[in-house]
Structure 1
Amino acid sequence: MRNLIVEMLHEQGYRVLQAEDGPQGLAILQSEQPVDLLLTDVGLPGLNGRQLADACATGGRI
């Protein structure tokens, strides 16, 4: 599903940053990369989607 969404967003001209799991997603949020939209799964390994969304809302802090 992730690959399909990434492909569709690329076709629309968006730049997409992907993560295999919660900790990789958190690393992206903590980087200097701007994030305009966060799409996540609830059942991510290592850090669930809710925790990742909360970290996004607090500037990448857990």
Structure 2
Amino acid sequence: MADEKKTKVVTVLLSPSELDALDTWRYENRISSRGEAIRTLIRMGFNSSLFGKSKTASEPKK
């Protein structure tokens, strides 16, 4: 996933405090761009032990 060419664009709206938190995390982790920081956080979420194990209210009921 990380070595694939990035050709898709996703627009995300963040609150000022979310953007501040993202930038703080990015600078603390020496990540060069917001896009790379967001991709890193997404990968971290995918790799977390909780991913895919919890149900959300928005999921269809069977």
Q: TM-score, normalised by structure 2?
A: 0.25
Q: TM-score, normalised by structure 1?
A: 0.25
The structure, 1 or 2, with the larger RCO (C-alpha pairs under 8 Å, 6+ apart) is: 1
